[in-house]
Structure 1
Amino acid sequence: MTRLRAVVITAATALVAAAVAAASIGFGGDPPSPGGAPALATAPVTRVTLTRTQQVNGTLGYGTPVRVSARGNGTITALPVLGTLISRGEALYQVDNRPVSLLYGDHPLYRPIQSGDAGWDVNEVEQNLAALGYAGFTVDTTYTASTATAVRKWQKDHGLTQTGVFEPATAVIATGPVRVATVDAQLGDPANGQMLSYSGTTRVVQIPLDVTYQSMARQGSTATVTLPDGTIVPGTVATVGSVAVAGRLAEDPATIDVTVTVADQTRLGTLDRAPVTVSLVAATVENVLTVPVAALVALTDGATGVQVVAGSTNHYVPVELGMFAGGRVQISGDGITEGTLVGIPT
């Protein structure tokens, strides 16, 4: 019999040892040799796709909050209720009974904008005005007299002084609709400090992933999320951080931030800030021959093999090992084909 060295991935070493130990016990403590007694049970070699996963802990919530600070003078006269959903054009809070509205964009406004100005901030304001139904101007990077007219209409509709100059203190820029995560100010406070924080409106799972498992988190790869009640929902790895954060204690591992999204939000019920378990796909091999891990036996020459059963006869075949996953192991060896019956030591 030709001897083949067993090739075992590191994570599966314990499984091999357990399987070999089980085999030895099943055969009276001596490694089996060709022509030994047939196993009491058999299983066919099957061709499948094996996927090995790694379970990690995460938190289900609305993502990392973003702080909002007031940018002007005056007195806070209205604040939102915790958990309120706010969309474009709606007020986040009020100063001196005048709303500070939510607008969409990628960058915060940094200067008063008026006729003759040009830049990306002009385009950001004009895009929002157009989306809110104001017309009569061209959405571009130039603030014209037509833009100023539209701004005056917007100011009138919001009870602001109709100057035609867009003041950055009258709006907060976010990338989309927001959910009020915290309310930090109180009515009557001066409008010159932190007011509140907001998050996204869609729940996600945030994972402080041990850098040891960084290769398992690939943007766009699938994941499964197990909720506190045992419900399992599918997810997708949306973002993978590139900066490692040191643990709070010296013995704590460094981590990277990973975000998993869940398409079907209804499956999440009303959970918020809930601990969850996430299964990340560590590796996948497609269309490979596999047997139950319990089918592995230790051969007399030190190799690992399986007992091939054909009718009333049986013999042992050394095999090469590949991935372990879900109680099965990838194998290859002489005469090993799909449907081959192998013994299961008992």
Structure 2
Amino acid sequence: MTKVEEAPRAPGPALRALPPRRRGPIRALAWTGGAALLAAAVAAAAVGFGGDSAGTAVAGRTPPATAQVTRTTLTETKTVDGTLGYGDPLTVSAKSQGTITWLPAEGSVITRGHAVYSVDADRRPLLYGTMPLYRELRDGVEGKDVELLERNLDKLGYDGFDVDDEFTWATREAVEDWQEDLGLDVTGTVQPGDVVVADGRIRVAELRKALGDTASGPVLDTTGTTREVRVALDVADEHLVRKGMRATVELPDGATVKGEVKSVGKVATETTSGNDTVTTVEVKVSVSGLKKPYDAAPVDVTIVSERRENVLAVPVGALLALAEGGYGVQVVEGASTGYVAVEVGMFADGKVEVEGVPEGATVAVPK
């Protein structure tokens, strides 16, 4: 640590305000770091080193407040508006003739093998997969759709066949057992309209049919079962957010839950409000530990955009702008004080990362 003698001088011009490390328009984004407080935190007159930089500190009045240089972790966060929900809905449509005789309740969750709806008292069960059935599955048929059917039958506990892309007599027998257990006509074949295919569990978001309606066209809308938050993020701030970042979601009642950025959209969208046009990308944040029964709600999402571990830091108010350029701190040793030039780094939590002073040193914090 290099101490320099405090040179007597007449009061100089007002100190230059320290600029934030990142400037630029921030729309719908609240900064919780300390950079914005610098102008108010810096003292009222420029400090000059004066004399030999290797000089000793001089005795002076005891500073009104002091703080120690500490080793800590600085975390910079951004808070944005978001909407809690279950993601985009998907529509389930009937592919057979008949009458709707049973429908699930809105909000209910349906898993593999259970009925999504019923036509003429016959259940339409859910199978997991990403390929819709598009043809009759029967003896001799081969393809990925056969493998999808066999994989689901295997998961439901039926056996005696190989899970592959061939529909054999063994597959037919398993299908017959399955149909009998469901109370369906035992045909040993599967038509596209006999089942509903989704990539996992589904949640019933909205019914599009009523009991007694004709079983053709949209029957109900579904979503996934995991709640997520969607954020319309200004493209100017897109570089601050990346997949895997931790987040905290504040609910309307003030409770908070943990979250994680799952995706950052690659398609920008323009929205106009009055005379202002904002270009945004969609950010999806998954949430965990959510106990409140919110189907949809406005929330605040706080994202950890930068983290600096094991750094030396002082309160932002301890920084002084030096007349020679750069920044420094006033180091206190007993009844003596002296100014030391420092390199500054990240601002966060009312503190600033510094280099040039040792851990444990005492610095003045002007009021």
TM-score calculated relative to the size of structure 2:
0.84
Query: Partner residue of 2:284?
Result: 259
The structure that is strand-richer by fraction is 2
Give the structure with the larger helix fraction.
1
Q: Out of 10, 15, 20, which is 2:37 matched to?
A: 15
- Counterpart contact for 1:8–1:321, Cα < 8 Å: no
Matches of 2:213 and 2:264 in 1, distance apart?
39
Gaps of 5+ in 1: 25-29
Aligned to 2:310: 287
The alignment of Structure 1 onto Structure 2 pairs a total of residues equal to 333
Q: 1:43 maps to which residue?
A: 67
Whole-Å separation in 2 of the counterparts to 1:252 and 1:38 = 53
Determine if the alignment matches structure 1 residue 76 to structure 2 residue 100.
yes
Q: In the TM superposition, what is the alpha-carbon distance from 1:8 to its structure 2 partner?
A: 5.3
> Which amino acid in structure 1 is aligned with residue 358 of structure 2?
T
What is the RMSD of the two structures over their aligned residues, measured on CA atoms? 2.3
Deviations 1:105-155 (A, max 9, x none): 122222221111111111111011111111111111111111112112222
Instruction: For residue 270 of structure 2, give the secondary structure of its aligned residue in structure 1.
Output: coil
Deviation by residue 1:14-35 (Cα, 9 ceiling, x = unmatched) = 3332322xx11xxxxx324455
In 2, Cα distance between the equivalents of 1:14 and 1:204? 31
1:213 alignment partner, SS class: helix
Query: 1:200 is matched with which residue?
Result: 224
Q: SS state of the match for residue 269, structure 2?
A: coil
* Residue in 2 that maps onto 1:31: 46
Shift of 1:248: 4.9
Secondary structure in 1 aligned to 2:101? Answer: strand
Alignment match, 1:311: 334
Instruction: Tell whether the 8 Å contact from 2:270 to 2:280 is kept in structure 1 after alignment.
Output: yes
Q: Distance in 2 between matches of 1:115 and 1:208?
A: 50
Code of the residue aligned with 2:146 in structure 1: it is V
Q: Look up the equivalent residue of 1:318 and give its one-letter code.
A: A
Mapped partners of 2:268, 2:185: distance in 1: 48
SS of alignment partner, residue 160 of structure 1: coil
Question: Aligned partners of 1:162, 1:215: CA distance in 2, in Å?
Answer: 58
- Is residue 269 from structure 1 mapped to residue 312 from structure 2 by the alignment? no
2:184 matches 1:172: no
2:119 is aligned to: 95
2:354 maps to 1:331: yes
- The CA deviation at 1:232 is 2.1
Q: Which residue of 1 aligns with 2:361?
A: 340
Quote the residue 1:27 is aligned against.
none
Say whether the 8 Å CA contact 1:80–1:93 is kept in structure 2: yes
Deviation at 1:173, TM superposition (A): 1.2
Report if the CA contact (8 A) 1:226-1:276 is conserved.
Answer: yes
**Following the alignment from structure 1 to structure 2, what is the Cα–Cα distance between the partners of residues 321 and 7?**
11
Distance in 1 between residues matched to 2:180 and 2:272, nearest whole Å: 52
Q: Distance in 2 between matches of 1:252 and 1:232?
A: 31
Answer whether contact 2:247 2:304 (CA < 8 A) is retained.
yes
Out of 68-77 and 122-131, give the one that drifted further.
68-77
Q: Distance in 1 between matches of 2:160 and 2:142?
A: 18
* 8 Å CA contact retained: 2:38, 2:317: no
Residue 218 of structure 1 is aligned with which of 211, 219, 242?
242
Work out the CA distance in 2 between the residues paired with 1:245 and 1:174: 29
1:102-251 equivalences in 2 (<5 Å): 102-249=126-273, 251=276
| Shift in alpha-carbon separation, 1:68–1:82, aligned structure 2, 3 A | same
